[in-house]
């Protein structure tokens, strides 16, 4: 297992943006072209790019997919989340060069469907668990469920899910450091690979997450820290490769 850095491109209205703790009213625009941003990350050595269709997450349908398909033509693996509600959404991406599709809200609202997709597409499906105080939030983080992220994770691991993306909403966009305990707990409880998202603010955060690699923490999604110039993709890759 290699610890992977996933530069993040969050898309809203065709632009690259970041939200503060998932709040659609607290948006910062970092670029007019998701594709140009993807090219920049690839030039810096990224092997993967994490893309999120924020409009899709909120509206429950694909909205910014053309940028995702363009990015998938670059020499990079792409994973996409946001607005994926049907098998046709999944095949739309997988048949057009996207490596991995993230099922988030629908894993909570329709677990039977999500488990079917895990069984059918295997490693190409990741389960996205976004947690507020340990409980899963859905629909662009506008709703919080009564289910603990760890419990949902175990259920999907039992059904065959191999990759989880865990976001602690309290840390997202805050540059306050990741929730190491929660990420590690999910990896230990599911015994599967967990990608950490939210809170990475310095290179030391990446090293701290990599400490749990033996437990299954296999990567980190990095957004705001890159856009705010805290460090570059090149520096992040160097940090986790040492």
State the maximum Cα–Cα separation within the chain, in Å, rounded to a whole number: 42
Helix (H) or strand (E) holding 236: helix 233-241
Cβ of 230: how many Cβ atoms within 10 Å?
A: 17
Distance CA(15)–CA(11), nearest Å, equals: 5
The CA dihedral of 237, 52, 217, 146, to the nearest 10 degrees, is 160
Catalytic residue among 53, 55, 130, 168: 130
- How far does the chain reach from its first CA to its final CA, in angstroms? 15
The reply to whether 32 belongs to the active site is: no
Contact 34, 77 (CB under 8 A): no
Beta strand ranges found along the chain (DSSP E)? 4-12, 15-20, 23-31, 48-53, 77-81, 100-103, 125-132, 135-138, 143-148, 163-168, 193-197, 217-222
The reply to whether 130 belongs to the active site is: yes
Catalytic residue among 10, 55, 65, 205: 10
Question: Could you tell me which residues are beta bridge partners of residue 81?
Answer: 52, 102
The catalytic residues are: 10, 130
């Amino acid at each position: 297992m290699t610890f992977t850095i996933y530069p993040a491109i969050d898309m809203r209205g065709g632009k690259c943006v970041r939200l503060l703790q998932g709040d659609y009213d607290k948006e910062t625009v970092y670029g007019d072209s998701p594709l140009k941003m993807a090219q920049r990350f690839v030039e810096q050595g990224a092997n993967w790019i994490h893309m999120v269709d924020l409009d899709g997450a909120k509206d429950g349908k694909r909205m910014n997919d053309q940028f995702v398909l363009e990015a998938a033509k670059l020499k990079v693996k792409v994973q996409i989340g946001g607005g994926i509600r049907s098998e046709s959404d999944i095949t739309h991406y997988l048949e057009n060069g996207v490596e991995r599709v993230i099922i988030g809200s629908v894993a909570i609202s329709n677990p039977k469907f999500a488990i079917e997709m895990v069984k059918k597409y295997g490693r190409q499906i990741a389960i996205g668990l976004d947690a507020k105080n340990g409980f899963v939030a859905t629909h662009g983080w506008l709703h919080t469920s009564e289910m603990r992220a760890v419990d949902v994770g175990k259920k999907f691991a039992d059904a065959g899910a191999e990759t989880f993306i865990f976001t602690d909403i309290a840390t997202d966009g805050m540059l306050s450091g990741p929730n190491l305990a929660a990420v590690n707990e999910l990896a230990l409880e599911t015994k599967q690979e967990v990608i950490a998202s939210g809170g990475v603010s310095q290179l030391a955060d990446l090293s701290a997450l990599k400490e749990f690699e033996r437990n299954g923490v296999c990567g980190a999604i990095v957004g705001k820290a890159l856009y705010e110039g805290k460090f570059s993709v090149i520096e992040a890759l160097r940090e986790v490769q040492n």
